[in-house]
Every structure is written in structure tokens, then in C-alpha cells.
Homo-oligomer: A and B are copies of this chain.
Amino acid sequence: MTEPIILKGKPVADLNKKYCLQLIEENQLSPHLYVFLIGEDPASEYYVGNIKKQGKKLNIQVTIEKYNQISEDELCNKIIALNNDNDVHGIMVQKPLPKNINPAKIESLISPDKDVDGFHPLNTGLMLQEKECFLPCTAQAILETMDFYNINPNKKHIVVVGRSNVVGKPIANLLLYKAKNRSATVTICHSQTPELSVFTKQADVLITAVGVANLIKPEMIKNNVIILDAGMNEILTVDNKTTYTGDVNYELCFNKCFAITPVPGGIGSVTTSILFKNICNSAKMKKK
């Protein structure tokens, strides 16, 4: 048996970064992302800080506006102003949000053509209808990883574990596309699926985005499965350090796989590069 293929995210992310640099240079773009960070959440601060740092290397301006608290109305007014600001190409409101702010209201308010997260319901609908739009970054990261490693979804049985609006449902719908001949047969499982292993065992390709550390064990998969693990779960090691693991027990499943994404270093490391690509594409569209 040949060694399983490790589907690293870095080369996929590198391609996207190269794409951004080239697009910016060729079109003389000044892409600008505006991020709202509200309340105290160390993980969000780390994530957004990282976007700013990485953006700098790509000549993408990232403005972070941070508030300990802000009223919903005030935030709405700020978003409306940015929707009309031609120098801003993407708007993000980092979650979790404090309880006084309705995330659905905010997501619907960001102009769809600056919705680089792909969360606006109009973009969600365009996605389902197979039309051009911003896609949710993690779902697109899964697609691009598959593309990069020549994993063709056509005629495969792909099992998606997770039914979130930002990963599970989008990737399931994207894998059904007629237009790009993705044409997978797709099963969507979730926390209410009575016997998860009945389905995961049938998967030619298994995609997990459920947020449960090490949920998928070797007895739940078939030999030569391809696994794309979008989970990123904080766990404590035996010596009480924080580390991250996916939804799949990587070590135990590894030898049964034909190919598998590591966590960290897999899908998660592609996601931010997709965000940058969306911002650069947005800047280009607005320049026309």
C-alpha cells in the first residue's frame, strides 16, 4: 500500500497569494478591507490581527475598527457609509457579536458586492443557483483544495458532516453544480443523524465541518477514502497546553486514507487566502 497523500493547504494558499499580487500589480489596485471587531474575544482578535499582518504582505489594506460596545443602529450607520465608500472593497463584521446586535441584520446590510465573506443571503442564493457571487471562504477553500490535488467530485459519493450556513450547506450545494460538472452525489449528516458511521463509511470523499474534536474514528471510514477536514477544535494536551485538532482523528485514520488534510495546515490555512482573493476581485470589479 502506498503512503497516504497529505493534502497540505500551503501550496493552495500560495497560489492564491500569487494571484492577488499579480492582480493588484496588473490593475494598479488598492484593495481595502474594513473589519469591525466588537466586544472582547481573544480568538477573534488573534484571527483579525493575522488578517491584517498577512494583508500587509500582499499590499491589501486592512482597517480594523474595534469597539468594546456599540449600538446596533450605530454599527448599521457605519456599514451603510462604508457601502457607499468607493475606497472600501470588502466589509467584515467579526463574530461572535454581543447580544445587542442581530448578526442576520448585519449580514443583510453589507452590500452584496462588498460581502467578501459570502454571508449575505443574496450571495447564498446566487451560490445555490450556480451563479457568479462571493462564496463563503471555507467552502471555497475546500473546493480549491480538491481542485489543486485533482480530486474530481464528478460521480463520487461525497458525505458532508455538518449543516452550518457557512460551511456544510454551502459545500454540499457547490458539489452538486451541473455547470462545472462537479456532479457529486452528496449526503449531508449532522448532530441529529442517528448512526453517523452508516453514512461516513460509504463516503468516497468525506468532508467534515462540525466542530467536534476527533469525532471521526477509523472504524467509521472505508479504505482509501479522501478526507477534507474543515474542523478546527481547541483541545488541551496531556501537559495542559492548548493545541488544535480537526473533526477527524487524524493519527488513527491516517493509514486508511488515500489522502487527508492535516489540521492545522489544511483547509484552515487556505481560508484566509480566499478572503484576500475575494477582496482583490472586488477591487478589480469596482475599478471597471
Interface string of A131-142 (1 = CB under 8 A from B): 100000000000
Shortest CB-to-CB span from A164 to chain B, Å, is 9
Q: Is the CB of B188 within 8 A of A176?
A: yes
Within 8 A of B (CB), among A168-223: 169, 172-173, 176, 178, 183, 185-190, 192-194, 199
What is the bound-complex CA distance between A130 and B127, given in angstroms?
15
Q: Is the CB of B125 within 8 A of A194?
A: no
Q: Which residue of B lies closest to A187 (CB)?
A: B187
Q: Does A243 count as interface, using CB distance less than 8 angstroms?
A: no
Within 8 A of B (CB), among A249-285: none
Query: Which of A124, A130, A172: most chain B Cβ within 10 A?
Result: A124
Q: With a CB–CB cut-off of 8 A, which chain B residues contact A8?
A: none
Q: Does A89 count as interface, using CB distance less than 8 angstroms?
A: no
Q: Does A17 count as interface, using CB distance less than 8 angstroms?
A: no
What is the bound-complex CA distance between A183 and B124, given in angstroms?
20
- Contact A131 B121, CB 8 Å, known A190-B176, A192-B155: yes
- A122 contacts which of B125, B163, B185, B188 (Cβ < 8 Å)? B125
- Contact A125 B121, CB 8 Å, known A154-B192, A185-B189, A189-B185: yes
Q: Does A104 count as interface, using CB distance less than 8 angstroms?
A: yes
Q: Is the CB of B183 within 8 A of A190?
A: yes
Shortest CB-to-CB span from A72 to chain B, Å, is 17
Q: Is the CB of B185 within 8 A of A185?
A: no
- Contact A128 B131, CB 8 Å, known A169-B173, A188-B185: no
Q: Does A123 count as interface, using CB distance less than 8 angstroms?
A: yes
Q: Does A129 count as interface, using CB distance less than 8 angstroms?
A: yes
What is the bound-complex CA distance between A26 and B168, given in angstroms?
42
Interface string of A87-128 (1 = CB under 8 A from B): 000000000000000001000000000000000111111111
Q: Does A63 count as interface, using CB distance less than 8 angstroms?
A: no
Lowest 8 CB-CB distances: which A-B pairs, in order? A125-B125, A121-B125, A124-B125, A183-B192, A187-B187, A185-B193, A121-B126, A163-B176
